[in-house]
A = this chain, B = another copy of it.
Amino acid sequence: METTEIDAVLQALANADRRKILDLVKADPGCTVSSVVKHFDTSRVAIMRHLNVLYDCKLLLHEKVGRSRHLYLNSVPIQLIYDRWTDEYGAFWGGQLADIKYRVERGENND
């Protein structure tokens, strides 16, 4: 996975509305754009912009049928991100996480 692809996926995930879209599509695979829009107060165009971001980084797959566009979740990018971080930080987590978390929970972190 290219650096720019990781950037794009993380950037896409760094927005609550886009994460909500993913959740909605996950809950109702094959749903349409307008059905997603109904769950938001923001404009249809704004949601479509979010959808385009999700298409670009391939978190959402889509196909046009008639005048509708059907949406599907593609979890592969998330999985790749997950692998990246667990691979690179897994050892660190395993070794130090418990202690650090303990200290943080006791308010002993030095922010």
Contact = CB atoms under 8 A, between A and B. Distances in A.
B61 A79 contact: no
A88 B89 CA distance: 21
A15 to B, nearest CB: 7
Interface residues of A, number: 39
A3 interface: yes
B26 A15 contact: no
Contact of A93 (B14, B75, B92, B93): B75
A101 B76 contact: yes
Interface stretch (A33-41, A43-51, A103-111): A103-111
Given A14-B10, A109-B61, A104 B74 contact: yes
A61 to B, nearest CB: 5
In the A-B complex, the 9 residue pairs with the closest CB atoms = A10-B14, A11-B14, A3-B16, A10-B13, A63-B110, A58-B111, A14-B14, A61-B110, A10-B10
